[in-house]
Amino acid sequence: MIQIEYFLIVAAVMMFAGIFGFLTRRSTLAILLSIELMLNATDINFAVFNRLMYPAGHEGYFFSLFSIAISAAESAIAIAIMINIYRQMKDISIDKLQKLKW
Amino acid sequence: MDYSQFLYMREELSLLLVILILFVADLFMCPDKKSGKGVYNTALPVVLMSVLTIVNLLPCCGAQACEAFGGMYQYAPMMTIVKSVLNIGVILVFLMAHGWLSRPENKVKQGEFYIVTLFTLLGMYFMISSGHFLMFFIGLELASVPMCALIAFDKYRYESAEAGAKYILLALFSSALLLYGISFIYGGTGSLYFSQIGALLSGNSLLSLLGLTLFLAGMGFKISLVPFHLWTADTYEGAPTVVTSYLSVVSKGSAAFVLFTVLIKVFSVGQLFTDWNIGLFWIIIASITIANLFALRQKNLKRFMAFSAISQAGYLVLGAMGGTAQGMTAMVFYLLVYLVANFGAFAVINVVEQNSGKLGIADYNNLYQTNPKLAFLMTLCLFSLAGIPPFAGFFSKFFIFMAAFNAGFRLLVFIALVNTIISLYYYLLIVKAMYISPNDQPIPTFRSDNYSRAALIICLLGVVLLGIAGWVYNYIDTLSYGLDTIL
């Protein structure tokens, strides 16, 4: 059986890849993808903790399910806002989101 | 299954009922095609919310502290008070929104505004009463996802969309961090129930510390405390003014209360208690000081209010230090007073923006000459925010400082006091602009609509009377709980 550490390492790598992407990508859609990567890393964490450490209950699985659903709702709203920006600026790069600052 | 436990959730269910009534009313009360006049007026949601608040506060159905659904939903009488304070905030938002919503581009969206706002309120209700991290997370997201839609509500104004994009990207980022923290708490304890985690968390394990840190970061984003505040000014400036006021008080206040309850329920074993106190100590100092320094250099009134709100959030969280019952009383009272004062200021900003389109601090020069009543009300609200004695803000700040002092954080109280004086300077800058600075073209005299007037009068009464009416504080005090007095 695969040790729990390997799963957690995969999740941690995904998490930090997501954070790195969030900080470095210039397109808002790529930023959104990075955030999905972070959310999926947490889902893996929940499922793994539930399966390998506390197999008696299903709390972790349910948490992953809910978090998948909620992150889908969030992406829907985020993309709607980006379409709105695109309609007015014809560009969704975050370099263009600079009208409001300091 | 025992269906009677749904009755414990009577506040949430009655709010859901209000939402359904408004939803159905929206179908039949759409704007008249010929005259284009909004038939669906502000009165209905305001009356419904007022009825809801009064029913919640009626002592006859005042419930005891209880649990439902195996502890996923927890109720304490204090939560009714907090929810009613939030209700008052929402009523004020609806009153203020009348002028903005009766504009031609928003007329068709009136119903949406009310329903989406109430859904965020429902999320805050669930977040406040949660007894399980899943409920907490769903409540948090229900409060923040529709909020993005509200911020981007002005569809044809670019700033609104940019503010919405900035808010939702950072909200998603912070909720991902928060979830990562919760997953480690689950890994360390095997439970997500607040009541069980408290006993299972071993005080000095690295997992629980990681969980605590990421939890503080996630909540710090919602309350916009300093290391996590960078979205605040941009979002506040771009969002419609009504939504800005909602963000700065209701969303912030509910999150601060939840931060308090979760910290004392979950993270108060052994070493962790010291850890979160140290964390909050630095966060509060940074919030109050840095926000004050940035507020000094703002030219736009909404940005200015954003930094003022960050600094006020620092004072609000000061009540959580030590997790005492007195701190909870002070925090809820501070929230109530901050609510009326901040909504008063925003109501003035809103009517001025609706009637003249001006938002710069320099535009307010000599407002007293043309609109003396508005200038006077704004002055009272700013004095209350700054904490000048006869007004309610002085008493709320005093109680907060007293609570933190009694909990043993004397240095923190001293730094906060020094910052109060700095904040006095920038609040008075606006008062100076309105009364003293000369202006060739002051904002012309105008009459605000009756709903905004009602909101202004409620805020005025609150600012003047809350400090004198001592029974409010005493009543909140009888219901509060903390680490020293568990209910």
Segment B99-139, tens digit of pLDDT: 888 888 887 788 889 999 999 999 999 999 999 999 999 99
Phi and psi at B11, nearest 5°, equal -65, -45
pLDDT at B475: 87
State how far the Cα of B181 lies from the Cα of B276, in Å rounded to an integer.
14
Q: Kindly indicate the confidence band of residue B213, based on its pLDDT and cuts at 50, 70 and 90.
A: very high
**B244–chain A nearest CA distance, Å:** 15
pLDDT at B445: 84
DSSP structure string for B145-203: HHHHHHHT--TT-HHHHHHHHHHHHHHHHHHHHHHHHHHHHHHHHS--BHHHHHHHS-T
pLDDT at B291: 92
Query: Has residue B479 got a pLDDT over 80?
Result: yes
pLDDT at B448: 82
Quick: pLDDT tens for B8-44: 888 899 999 999 999 888 877 665 566 555 555 778 8
Nearest CA in chain B to A32: B169
Nearest beta carbon to residue B148 from set A81, A97, A102? A81
Q: Is residue A67 part of a domain?
A: yes
Question: Furthest-apart CA pair in chain A: how many Å?
Answer: 54
State how far the Cα of A14 lies from the Cα of A19, in Å rounded to an integer.
9
Quick: pLDDT tens for B252-295: 999 999 999 999 988 888 788 888 999 999 999 999 999 999 99
Beta-sheet pairing, B73-75 with B66-68 = antiparallel
Which secondary-structure segment (H or E) carries B66?
strand B66-68
Q: Is residue A98 part of a domain?
A: no
**What rounded mean pLDDT belongs to chain B?**
88
pLDDT at B196: 87
Q: Kindly indicate the confidence band of residue B165, based on its pLDDT and cuts at 50, 70 and 90.
A: very high
In this structure, chain A runs to a length of 102
Helical packing angle, B410-435 and B392-406, nearest 10°? 170
Is the separation of the CB atoms in B396 and B334 below 8 Å?
yes
pLDDT at B262: 92
Q: Which residues of B touch A102 (CB under 8 A)?
A: 233
Query: Between residues B342 and B35, which one has the greater pLDDT?
Result: B342
Structural domain total, chain A: 1
Q: Which of A74, A87, A91 to substitute to test the interface with B, most B CBs within 10 Å?
A: A74
> B94 vs B97, B411, B482, CA distance in Å?
5, 41, 33
pLDDT at B60: 56
In this structure, chain B runs to a length of 487
Residue ranges of domains in chain B: 3-479
Query: Has residue A100 got a pLDDT over 80?
Result: no
Q: CB count, 10 Å around CB of B474?
A: 10
Three-state secondary structure along A38-78?
A: HHHHHHHHHHHHHHHHCCCCCHHHHHHHHHHHHHHHHHHHH
Give the residue-averaged pLDDT of B35-58.
77
Phi and psi at B297, nearest 5°, equal -105, 15
Q: Which residues of A touch B182 (CB under 8 A)?
A: 42, 63
Task: Write out the residue range of the structural domain in which residue A49 sits.
Answer: 29-89
Tell which B residues from 165 to 224 touch A, by Cβ distance under 8 Å. 165-166, 168-169, 171-173, 175-177, 179-180, 182-184, 186-187, 190-192
Q: Which of A31, A32, A84, A95 to substitute to test the interface with B, most B CBs within 10 Å?
A: A84
DSSP structure string for B396-429: HHHHHHHHHHHTT-HHHHHHHHHHHHHHHHHHHH
* Least confident window among A7-11, B330-334, B435-439: B435-439
Q: Which amino acid is at A88?
A: Q
Is the separation of the CB atoms in B234 and B168 below 8 Å?
no
Query: Has residue A39 got a pLDDT over 80?
Result: yes
Q: Kindly indicate the confidence band of residue B63, based on its pLDDT and cuts at 50, 70 and 90.
A: low
Residues of A with CB under 8 A from a CB of B: 15, 18, 22, 28, 31-32, 35, 38-39, 41-42, 45-46, 49-50, 53-54, 57, 59-60, 62-63, 66-67, 70-71, 73-74, 77-78, 80-82, 84-85, 88-89, 97, 99-102
Nearest beta carbon to residue B176 from set A42, A57, A85? A42
Partner-chain contact A78 B161, CB within 8 Å: no
pLDDT at B36: 55
Is the separation of the CB atoms in B335 and B487 below 8 Å?
no
Q: Which residues contact B269 (CB under 8 A, 6 or more apart)?
A: B198, B199, B201, B202, B203
Query: Has residue B352 got a pLDDT over 80?
Result: yes
pLDDT at B369: 87
Nearest beta carbon to residue B190 from set A32, A53, A73? A53
Collapse the DSSP code of B484 into the 3-class scheme (helix H, G, I; strand E, B; otherwise coil) and give the result.
coil
Query: Has residue A40 got a pLDDT over 60?
Result: yes
Phi and psi at B482, nearest 5°, equal -160, -165
Q: Is residue A69 part of a domain?
A: yes
From B396, B403, B415, select the one nearest B463 (Cα to Cα): B396
Partner-chain contact A74 B234, CB within 8 Å: no
Nearest CA in chain B to A56: B190
Backbone conformation region of residue A72, classed left if phi is above 0, alpha if psi is from -120 to 50, else beta: alpha
Q: Is residue A52 part of a domain?
A: yes
DSSP structure string for B120-148: HHHHHHHHHTB-BHHHHHHHHHHHHHHHH
Q: Is residue A94 part of a domain?
A: no
Give the tokens for residue A95. Answer: 């370099």
pTM for the model: 0.93
Query: Has residue B341 got a pLDDT over 60?
Result: yes
Handedness of CA A87, A89, A91, A97 (dihedral sign): negative
Is the separation of the CB atoms in B332 and B316 below 8 Å?
no
Quick: pLDDT tens for B406-455: 988 999 999 999 999 999 999 999 999 889 888 888 888 888 888 899 99
State how far the Cα of B374 lies from the Cα of B353, in Å rounded to an integer.
13
pLDDT at B30: 61
Give the tokens for residue A76. Answer: 């829907």
pLDDT at B105: 82
Q: Is residue A15 part of a domain?
A: no
